Each structure stands twice: as structure tokens, then as C-alpha cells.
Amino acid sequence: MIADCEVIDFHGHVGRWDALDMADDPDRMLFAMDRAGIDRACLFNIFHPDGRRGHDLTAAFVTRHPDRFIGFAYASPLWPDDPVPELERAIDELGFRAIKIYPPYTSYNLDDPVWDPIYRFADTRGLALISHTGSEATCPPRLFANVAARFPNAHFVIGHSGNIEPHRSEAIAVARAHRNVYLETCSTFRAPGVIEKLVAGAGAARVLFGSDIPLMDPRPQLGKILTADIGHDDKRQILGNNARRLLHL
Amino acid sequence: MPSLDFHPTVPVFDANIGVGHRHDRVAPFAGPAELSAQMKAQGVDRALVYHVQGETISAIDGNNALLAWIGDHDGFTPQWMANPNQACLAQLQTLRQEGRLSSVRLHSTTDSHLSFSDWIYGDLLDWLADADIPLWVSLADTPADQIAATLGQYPQLRTVLVGAHYMHAMAVRPLLRRLPNAHIELSRYEKLGGVEELRDEFGAERLLYGSYYPRYAMGPILYYLHTADFSTDELAAVCAGNIERILLKAIA
């Protein structure tokens, strides 16, 4: 819907968050995506620690508009059982394309070995795995340096690119040091020059557009990319080409 | 159809730009020339500017610094900071007498550890209401419940609520219902479909474009507004017409 550029939103949610008036209304999501110029959005449900319920909800949501939404699995060390069988179901049966983790909903730092079965699954399958990152104790981006080298076939996506400084600079440093680390752009902290900094630091081939839909409207987040002082080729990579490559679309 | 390049299609008047250094933060641009260049690059024609030193340490010092900062540069309309200090009120009254005051912005009550209550801010609010001077209040710097309780006692006072965030999603519409003379600046309001929702309930005349630069970039919200389901007239009003009307009324 943007001329000569497929736009894939790498960061979106299924579910409700009532205190923030967030709801996964597909009509409202598609309306905003259409107005913005977003072709497809990747969605995950992080609100159910058992995995299966969230996966079923994500699958039901995506199935209604399979040409517009892409399902991601959600995995957590809070799951009572071995996560691998449910991840296999999510990827092999439900057709999900990547994995999301959300360390702040646990007490485990993202480089704690308790996450290893999930990382090992992504590594074995060559999957992308996106994590929330930021100032929370469990997930400053620098911890990815301890993970990326141990699982070289997984593609680690630093959600929000650390959100704020100094975590944003940490995220860039980890991406520079590890070829399997990527930076995702959605953040309510829309500081001037942030996209230019990510591109200068890690290269456009390692930056992925995300919006946090429906928690946030995707239009300002897409506007961050379109109004950044970078070239068209860089914008095309960030907006869609990198995601298509990572997700094998 | 959107393209990889975006430029505004209507005149743009930014309702929310902070300039200068703050005690705990150095400005990312040196002066008016650098800010003008950034505005030009993003298609912003004019800006309402306040001095960030007035947010916490001293409104009086911030206002004095703003005079020096603007100098004789075009494109900037000064906005004066206010706190409940009587010397600050006297400074604002002098600026008013000199014909240089078209709006006032409340300091950060949170950083100042003051409750935004009528028994603390009553003299300021009484004067603003009597003089029909619009007051900008930041939801990032003053709790929404205090805004509702205190400004609810001044229904005739025209206000602009700035910095509403998705964390305020449950508060914004009740605030606008409670404060019929309140407008909302949209720099941080990223609720899904939020601007159309506000337009539908309150009308485009109560919405203002602002960036909150340099905390936030100028362009992303402009893109949001240009891709909103607005008529051309509504877009023009939100991007510039509404703030022009608000400021002109105060000067008139």
C-alpha cells in the first residue's frame, strides 16, 4: 500500500489490556493499517503463560485475515511443561513464523539458562525470536550479547531497540557485535533522530519496522521511518524486505 | 496512496516545542537557526515555544531566557511558563500589559512536588480566567485527577492539555467531557484510532498538532494526522487553524 514497498509490521499483539483501553479489534486494526499503508502485521498473545491458550487465540485471530496477519508463538519459562511440544504445535500446525518472549512477566533475566530450551528451539529451526527490551531489570539489551553467540542460527530481534538511552546504544552495540541480532523500531519514545542512529549504528539490513499495534496506532510508528533522514533503499529494507527475509515469506 | 517520502500538505503550526537548556538536560540544538532548519525539514512553518528551564527550576528565569533565545527570529511565538509564585504572576501580568502574552504553560507540578490544587494555584487561575488567557497543562507533568478536579472549578478557562500518552487512554475523553473549554494536543497520543475517536466525540476544533520536540520528533504525528480520516478542512484546523484561533483570541 506504499508504492513500490511492501510494509510488514514486526510487532503487534492479540488480546485485551483494559486498563489501557487496548483491544484487538480487527476492524480498527485493519483501518489503521490501511490508512498507514501497512500490508501485513505480525501478532502474538503474551497474556497467557500456558502458551496453548494464547496460541489458539492468535491462530483464531490470524485465520480471519490470513493475508494481513502473521502469527508468532509466545514462550515463557513460566510454562509448567517442556515448551518444545507446544512450540512445535505453534510453528508446525498453526503456521506461526517466529517466537515472542516477554521477560518482564517473569523473574528471569533473558540470559538466564531457564530460557535456553526456547532459544535452542529457535536455533534448531533457524527462527526469529523477538523479545521486549528496555530499562526493566530482566531485559536490558546488553544481555543479548550472552545469548546470541550461543545460538548462532537463531535470529534475535531486540524489541523496541532498548526504548531509551542508554539501552538504545546497548542494543546497537549488540547488533554490531553479532550478525544474528536485529533492532525493532516500535517505541513510545519517539526521540528525534532515533531511526537514523539505528541505521548508522547497525545498518539498515538489521533494522525492522514495528508498531505495537493495537496498543499503539501504527501510523506514528510508520511515520518515524518515513520522516527519517535515510534513503529509499534503507526504508524499503526496514519496512519490509528484512522481515520477509527473516520470516521466509 | 502513501509514499516513502512524506511532507505535510497543509500549513503547520507546532503547539508544543521546548527550547533552551534545563538544569538536568542540555538542548540538542544550539539555537533558533538550528530549530528553524529542523522545522523546515519536517514541513513545520511556525512553533509555539517555551523555555524548558521554566518546567521545574524557575518559570521567571525560563521566561527571561526565552526572550533572549528568540531574539529577532521569525516563526516562533513565545509561550510563558507559570508557577504559583507571586513574582511569577507579576511577570506574566507585565508581559500581558506589554502585549507579548498570548498563552501560558503550567510548570511541572510533579517535579516541583506541588499539588495542582486551587488553594495553591487559585490566584494564577483566577487571573488567567478573568483575562481569557489560555493555559497549556502537560499530562506528562501533572496528574490527570488533579487537572480534572482543579480546572473543573474554572469552566470558562480555555486550556490545552498536552502530552497525553496511551497510558492516559482511559482518562482523555472523560477529561474533555469534564472540561468543555479544554483542547488536546496530540504529540504523544498514540491510542489506536484515537484521533478519529476524539474528532467524532468532540470535534476537530478541539484537537491540536504538537510535537513535544525535542523529546519527540516532529514528523511522526504529522504523518498520523495526514493519514487520519479527516477532511481537508479538519486537517488544516488541527495542524494550524485551531492554535491560531486560540492565541488570537487571547491577544484580541
Q: How far is A29 from chain B (nearest CA, A)?
A: 7
Please report, in tens digits, the pLDDT of each residue of chain A (249 residues total): 898 899 999 999 999 999 999 999 999 999 999 999 999 999 999 999 888 999 999 999 999 999 999 999 999 999 888 999 999 999 999 999 999 999 999 999 999 999 999 999 999 999 999 999 999 999 999 999 999 999 999 999 999 999 999 999 999 999 999 999 999 999 999 999 999 999 999 999 999 999 999 999 999 999 999 999 999 999 999 999 999 999 999
C-alpha span between A101 and B204 (Å, rounded)? 40
Write the residue in B2, B170, B188 that is nearest to A21 by C-beta.
B170
Write the residue in A1, A227, A232 that is nearest to B223 by C-beta.
A227
The percentage of chain B sitting over the pLDDT mark of 90, rounded to a whole number, equals 93
Q: What pLDDT was estimated at residue B51?
A: 97
Q: Does A226 sit within 8 Å of B6, measured CB to CB? A: yes
Is B74 a residue whose pLDDT tops 90?
no
User: Which residue(s) pair with A43 in the sheet?
Assistant: A12, A71
Q: Which residues of A touch B (CB under 8 A)?
A: 1-5, 19-22, 25, 28-29, 31-32, 35-37, 188-194, 213-217, 219-224, 226-227, 229, 232, 235-236
Q: What pLDDT was estimated at residue B252?
A: 58
C-alpha span between A237 and A217 (Å, rounded)? 21
User: Which residue(s) pair with B207 in the sheet?
Assistant: B184
Q: Which domains does chain B have, with CATH numbers?
A: 13-251 (3.20.20.140)
- Residue B251's pLDDT band, with cuts at 50, 70 and 90, is low
A40 CB neighbour count, 10 Å cutoff? 23
Write the residue in B3, B42, B223 that is nearest to A220 by C-beta.
B223
Q: Does B228 sit within 8 Å of A219, measured CB to CB? A: yes
Q: Does A193 sit within 8 Å of B217, measured CB to CB? A: yes
Q: What pLDDT was estimated at residue A3?
A: 87
A76-132 pLDDT, tens digit each? 999 888 999 999 999 999 999 999 999 999 999 999 999 999 999 999 999 999 999
- The conformational region for residue A146 under phi > 0 = left, psi -120 to 50 = alpha, else beta, is alpha
Which chain B residue's Cα is nearest to A229? Answer: B41
Residue in A35, A160, A190 to test binding to B, most B beta-carbons within 10 Å: A190
> Which residues of chain A does B2 touch, with a Cβ-Cβ cutoff of 8 Å?
1-3, 36-37, 226
Q: Give, in degrees to the nearest 5, the angle at Cα A102 between A96 and A108.
A: 130
Is B250 a residue whose pLDDT tops 80?
no
In the predicted model, what is the mean pLDDT of residues B200-222?
Answer: 97
Q: Which CATH number is associated with domain A8-246?
A: 3.20.20.140
Q: Does B217 sit within 8 Å of A191, measured CB to CB? A: yes
In the predicted model, what is the mean pLDDT of residues B92-112?
Answer: 96
The percentage of chain B sitting over the pLDDT mark of 70, rounded to a whole number, equals 99
Write the residue in B5, B6, B193 that is nearest to A31 by C-beta.
B193
C-alpha span between A143 and A19 (Å, rounded)? 30
C-alpha span between A209 and A194 (Å, rounded)? 13
Is B56 a residue whose pLDDT tops 70?
yes
> Which residues of chain A does B4 touch, with a Cβ-Cβ cutoff of 8 Å?
2-5, 226, 232, 235-236
Which chain B residue's Cα is nearest to A223? Answer: B220
Q: Does A188 sit within 8 Å of B6, measured CB to CB? A: no
Average pLDDT, chain B: 96
Q: Does A214 sit within 8 Å of B166, measured CB to CB? A: no
Q: How far is A154 from chain B (nearest CA, A)?
A: 31
ipTM of the complex, rounded to two decimals: 0.95
How many Cβ contacts (< 8 angstroms) between chains A and B?
Answer: 114
Q: Does B5 sit within 8 Å of A216, measured CB to CB? A: no
Q: Which pTM was predicted?
A: 0.95
B177-207 pLDDT, tens digit each? 999 999 999 999 999 999 999 999 999 999 9
User: Which residue(s) pair with B138 in the sheet?
Assistant: B162
> What is the distance between the terminal CA atoms of chain A, rounded to a whole angstrom?
17
Write the residue in B165, B216, B227 that is nearest to A36 by C-beta.
B227
Q: How far is B94 from chain A (nearest CA, A)?
A: 36
**C-alpha distances in Å from residue A127, one per residue of A88, A92, A130:** 12, 12, 10
C-alpha span between A36 and A34 (Å, rounded)? 5
> Which residues of chain A does B38 touch, with a Cβ-Cβ cutoff of 8 Å?
192
Q: What pLDDT was estimated at residue B1?
A: 77
Handedness of CA A207, A209, A214, A217 (dihedral sign): positive
Q: How far is B14 from chain A (nearest CA, A)?
A: 15
Whether residue A198 contacts residue A169, with contact meaning beta carbons closer than 8 Å, is answered with no
Q: Does A224 sit within 8 Å of B28, measured CB to CB? A: no
Q: Does A223 sit within 8 Å of B6, measured CB to CB? A: yes
